[in-house]
Chain A
């Protein structure tokens, strides 16, 4: 995925000025940075949810997006929420139902298929949101702090489910977070963004070697 000469302004505030970025396919690229440095704006540019100047080569691509809040439709059941994003994808009804059953099995929500979001716990709702992203036939996955606000044990559980889903369907993933440990755990590449879209650090994680991770952790803490 390539972003070329991206410029984005909110009134007088320039978030990105002639910003360029290439993202490796089927890998998890983690974007770290302080609040307000443009992490979410970057995702919204890729998802075409905001206007901008410049070019991306994903304009006609299907994109999955996992938000910090689950953004489920309260009037639809768990299955209904998944069906909602699949209806416009040229699948037959049987195919849709099959895909829904398969993904719900993976996120361990098969028994909760007919429940409404208000009847789900926070963790269950986040699993539906993960299921929605992976059932959608996209090559790109955007994640905007999806583990924020979860308690430690629940976060571990959701991250494990995410890893299982990702290993089953390796989408080109951009994962925005402010949590350095989450980034070190999941990322194949870590980018630290500074104000005005300046890249302060760009590091690929070739291995999960302890010394390498600690060194990288130190560097990131210094920069941030």
Chain B
């Protein structure tokens, strides 16, 4: 068991990361034009150079701020509507077609439309919300209605109070899929917000910094910003995963 975990958690990720770095290294060597494929060393150098800039931190804070606000709005609305829909099935019938249509909208056209409708500061918020809300709503709704009917029947037979059913049956049963959804949508939201910032030219944002790197043909810097986005996304997922592990003790 321990060997399996060692392979799953350490050896395989290290090998796959090593492969990626190797592909990057070989491609950079073959192409041999820093402007197109910067070398690993140049990118790492740019990465550390970014760490010394004040702008770097304010851009990250700006993007994280937008990511968390739009995520929280979508989260609160998705969980509220999923709970109401579970008890009022007509609401789900009403929402399902809307959710399907919204999910089918190409992200790029949504970004372009909201840029027309809103200002550069607020449009990423709406875009992030519109992209992650349907995913969260569908997932939360499915989790709630999938709570084991046998356990609901058992609770009713033993006359368990509604409060105890919510706290001990419903919430713990939806928690695993709830955390998994939050984990995947929070990093998706970060990516969407950055894309929206690029196109909307949002002030004090990672998106605009990336756009500037591209405009000045600073490809190594652009890659360094990409590295930052990957690290941030990974950190957000780790935070959610840690909360899940600390909360859901019975799955160990």
Contact = CB atoms under 8 A, between A and B. Distances in A.
Interface residues on B, range: 20 to 34
Given A76-B168, A84-B164, A87-B160, A71 B173 contact: no
A141 to B, nearest CB: 11
A64 interface: yes
B150 A71 contact: yes
A75 to B, nearest CB: 4
A47 B161 contact: no
Tell me if B's interface is mostly helix, strand, loop or mixed.
helix
B161 to A, nearest CB: 5
Interface in B156-171: 156-161, 164, 168-169
A75 B169 CA distance: 8
Contact of B158 (A74, A76, A85): A85
- From B150, B153, B159, B251, residue with most partner A Cβ within 10 Å: B159
Interface string A71-111: 10111100010001101100000000000000000000000
A91 to B, nearest CB: 13
Contacts of B250: 74-76, 116, 118
Interface string A133-148: 0001000001000000
Contacts of B157: 47, 49, 63-65, 142
Contacts of B77: none
Nearest to B172: A75
Contacts of B156: 47-49
A136 B150 contact: no
Given A65-B157, A84-B168, A87-B161, 6 more contacts: A47-B156, A63-B158, A67-B150, A88-B160, A88-B164, A142-B157
6 contacts: A62-B159, A63-B157, A71-B153, A71-B154, A84-B158, A118-B250
